[in-house]
Amino acid sequence: MSNLSKVILIEWIIFISCFIYIIELQANECLDECGEMGIPYPFSIAGKGKSCGLPGFEINCKHNQSFGSIHPIPFLSIPSGEVQILNISHHHLLINATQFVASTSNCLGHRDETGFNISSEGPFRLSTQNRFVVIGCEAMGMFAIGENNNLSSGCISLCAVATYSNCNGDGCCQTSVPANYTDYQIAVTSVSLLENDTDSNKSCNYAGILDENSWDLISHTLSFTYASISLNWSIPNDTCVSAKTKGSYHCVPDAECIDVGWGYQCNCKHGFRGDGYSNGTGCKDINECLDPSLNDCYSPSEGGRCKNTKGSYKCFCAKGHVDGTKNGTRCSTRKFEIIPVAIGVCVTLVTVLIGGCFALLILKHRQARFVKQSNFRRNGGTHLQKLTSSEADGVRIFSLDEVEKATQSFSPNLILGSGGYGTVYKGILSDGILVAIKKANSKQVDSKEIDDFINEIVILNQIRHRNVVKLLGCCLESPVPLLVYEYISNGTLSDHLYGDKYEQHLHWEKRLRIATETAEALSYLHSSASIPIVHRDVKSSNILLDNMYTPKVADFGLSRLLPMNQTHISTVVQGTMGYLDPEYFQTIQLTEKSDVYSFGVVLVELLTGLKPLSFERAKNQSNLAIYFLNTMKTTDLTEILDSRLTVEEAENRASMEKVANLAKDCLSVEGEKRPTMKEVVQELLWMRGGPRPHAWLNSDAAQKEEFVSLLMDAEANQEQTVEMTDLHPHSEPLSFDLQSFRENLNGGR
């Protein structure tokens, strides 16, 4: 081979090697954008090199003609498929929520139920910016969230006045969604207020969990163009301390590491700008001197000078001048003799410092007192003081200092439970008394919540019953009002029925006693309180149990006083899904029978051990009340009886069937056909071995024959009147005319 050929061969080898290197370099290049969207670290575009981001943050960047964009679009892969990413910001991710919105049958492409699920091992969780929104007329939306869907809530949207702008229940309703979860299930249904409504007459209704800034009301529908779900993101399955120990720490020195529960986040400290991550933009010092809005130094024209320091800055004046900050002494062109001035300045500073300390202490004390007084007025303290002595007498007003000391400044270790209403803390007062303190979730309550709070104080203060939780007092000096109750140590009935916190099984006799005593408490509210009280939120999680399993009815925030001589009051529909009285929902008229329906659901819970609302069951079984009634029509109780009770079924079969029949009566669609709580108590006492309920409460022929026999015996003894005593221990004897009653009975036959 000639020398020329060797040179040409070497040149070709070098050219091919360079070409291959360039191709590999491009293949491993870390792209920082997809179409028109920036892709910050630790996110990366799938297939562009392993060092571009962190595992779990991969994004698919591709063209998709169905989205109508000529640019590539970023997508996130989740178990249910791919979702479009709308925006990536510091610790927040917005994704398209259109496919996760449920809709009724009259909607195009309707989905009665839908769900959303992301990996619990991944970096994403639902953020606090989301709301559950239902839009439509006569629409009921529900959602279940968390492990095993153990948290459920919802709201009802009516169309009484047709003003949709506030989303306050008229045409649109909304409620908060717990944060830091990875999955949820949604269902929406149209509930007719008219018997002859058909599907064609019903409106198109929607329900979805959406970012609070991304949805809008347009002709009663969701604006899907901007609807999105907000997700938090962090470095998953690790903590700041653990990451530093393992050498997998991703924060730069000028960043703060924040543990968020399922991982950690990096935030630049004050005076720095960036994402805080070592492989991202890190944290760069901000030169405050370049931007007059970031410093308070005098300008050079005023004799001042600004010097940038790491994370901050300093202000100077020319030699011989006093101060360089705008909140200090203005830079002056006058020259001072240094020593006399220094002595004078020092004496002045010491005097000012001592006086300032005293003034600051006095100012802080006054400011704290002013804030507490302001909170007291805003939280209804003035309203509470205006109540009559009979309503407000005995309500202890706790100071904020007392409550904070009792709860160790609301320590997370003292949390007893939480939900949509707020959080309950365990506390110990200075005298050693154990208490439970309820604190709302919101940072500040609105006027409606203040009304509910004062309502609960007034109602609870009138109640004196061993099966109703005792209100000890309240605190009005905090940003949100606090209620202080007696401490009930054994959790809630729902915890024992289908929670995993308590291992001890509730035997049937114990369940029957809990049902009886709970019914006695409700009967007392309806019949024996100074003014009849409708609880309006009877449910197993509002029935507390002490160490002897004595039930205590709690949470009277939604309760209403029923004026004398009135059978009902018209009010906005409120309550808990699964326990809500259908007649109350349709007529918006609250009666004592609404509590009876809810108690019927509790009876079914005691029989079945099932939750009142669950997306894990089949669709026709998701609502426990409907499932129970349909099952009892076709089969017997055994099919849905709690498996933990089957070993006791033989000896307690009779009482179980009686409770099931009582539950069916309580769950009647028409309130008039439901028994009163007093009648419910009589039935339950009879099941536990008490006297048989008054026979005239039933109307079948066999019972009438029993009455005739009773009347004949009475006539034989030539008695003209009979006195019967109600089973309630505080009632007066009931007298009636024997002959008149006999005539009415025969006439009824």
Q: What is the pLDDT of residues 349-397, one digit of tens each?
A: 888 888 888 888 887 777 777 777 777 777 667 666 665 444 445 678 8
For residue range 455-464, list pLDDT tens digits in order. Answer: 667 777 777 8
Given this model, what pLDDT does residue 621 score? 86
| Sign, Cα dihedral of 292, 298, 299, 302 | positive
pLDDT band at residue 508 under the 50/70/90 scheme: very high
- pLDDT score of 249: 92
CB 555, CB 537: distance < 8 Å: yes
Contact 574, 420 (CB under 8 A): no
Contact 450, 413 (CB under 8 A): no
pLDDT-above-70 percentage for the chain: 71
Cα(70)–Cα(73) distance, rounded to whole angstroms? 9
Identity at 244, one-letter amino acid code? K
Please give the distance of CA 673 from its chain centroid, rounded to a whole number: 34
Neighbouring residues of 69: CB distance < 8 A, sequence distance ≥ 6 = 35, 63
Chain segment 258-285, per-residue pLDDT in tens: 988 889 999 999 899 998 998 888 999 9
* pLDDT for res 676: 93
**pLDDT the model gives residue 365:** 73
Residue 323 has pLDDT above 70, yes or no: no
Compare 151 and 174 and report the one with higher pLDDT: 174
Write down the pLDDT at residue 135.
86
- Greater confidence, 441 or 514? 514
Does the pLDDT value for residue 600 go beyond 90?
A: yes
More confident residue, 362 or 569: 362
Type of residue at 197: D
Q: How many residues does the chain have?
A: 749
Bigger pLDDT: 619 vs 539: 539
Q: What is the pLDDT of residue 736?
A: 34
CA separation, residue 736 to residues 178, 387, 431, 659, 711 (Å): 58, 42, 54, 31, 12
Q: Is the peptide bond before 582 cis (omega within 30 degrees of 0)?
A: no
CB 114 within 8 A of CB 104: no
| pLDDT higher than threshold 80 for residue 547 | yes
Task: Give me the helices (H) in 379-446, please.
Answer: 381-386, 389-392, 400-406
Catalytic residue among 170, 238, 452, 537: 537
| Cα of 355 vs its chain's centroid, Å | 49
More confident residue, 153 or 277: 277
The residue that leads in pLDDT, 480 or 422, is 480
Residue 79 pLDDT exceeds 80: yes
537 annotated active-site:
yes
For 658, list phi and psi in degrees, rounded to 5: -65, -40
pLDDT band for position 526 (50/70/90)?
confident
Residues 6+ apart with CB under 8 A from 513: 549, 688
Which pLDDT value is given to residue 26?
Answer: 43
CA 87 to chain centre: 26
**217, 503, 722 from 598: Cα distances, Å:** 33, 26, 36
**SS3 assignment, position 472:** strand
Residue range 277-299: mean pLDDT, rounded: 88
Give yes or no for a contact between 385 and 458, defined as CB atoms under 8 angstroms apart.
no
Of the pLDDT bands very low, low, confident and very high (cuts 50, 70, 90), residue 678 is very high
The partner residues of 131 in beta bridges, in order of sequence, read 176, 210
Of the candidate ranges 24-38, 85-99, 275-289, the one whose mean pLDDT is the lowest: 24-38
Phi, psi of 582 (to 5 degrees): -65, -35
Q: What is the DSSP letter of 318?
A: S
Q: Give the pLDDT score at 1.
A: 59
pLDDT, averaged across the chain: 77
CA angle in degrees (0–180, nearest 5) for 462-445-366: 95
Which two tokens mark 201? Answer: 């007459």
Confidence of residue 515 (pLDDT cuts 50, 70, 90): very high
Comparing 542 with 221, the larger pLDDT belongs to 542
Please tell me the predicted confidence (pLDDT) of residue 336.
46
Orientation angle between helical segments 701-716 and 738-748, nearest 10 degrees: 150
Closest to 210 measured CA to CA, from 185, 226, 183, 229: 229
Confidence check: pLDDT of 710 > 50: no
Q: Which pLDDT does position 31 carry in this prediction?
A: 63
Spatial distance between the Cα atoms of 341 and 321, rounded to a whole number of angstroms:
11
User: Would the pLDDT of 149 be above 70?
Assistant: no
pLDDT for residue 305: 82
3-state secondary structure 265-312: EEEECCCEECCCECCCCCCEECCHHHCHHHCCECCHHHCEEEEEECCE
- Positive or negative: CA dihedral 210, 216, 217, 219: negative
pLDDT number for residue 749:
34
**Mean pLDDT score, 501-529:** 88
Is 452 within 8 Å of 480 (Cβ atoms)?
no
Digit-coded pLDDT (tens) for 439-455:
876 655 566 566 666 66
* pTM listed for this prediction: 0.57
Digit-coded pLDDT (tens) for 159-171: 765 444 567 777 8
pLDDT(286) > 60: yes
Provide the pLDDT for residue 702: 40
State the pLDDT at residue 281.
86
Q: Could you give the 3-state DSSP secondary structure of residue 21?
A: helix
Q: Residue 69 above 90 pLDDT?
A: no
Answer whether residue 320 shows pLDDT above 80: no
Q: What is the mean pLDDT of residues 663-685?
A: 93
Cβ 34 vs Cβ 72: under 8 Å:
yes
- On the question of pLDDT at 95 being above 50, the answer is yes
Q: Are strands 228-233 and 124-126 parallel, antiparallel or unpaired?
A: antiparallel
Q: What is the pLDDT of residue 372?
A: 73
Encode pLDDT of 41-61 as tens digits: 889 888 765 567 888 898 998
Of 104-118, 257-271, 469-483, 708-722, the range with the lowest mean pLDDT is 708-722
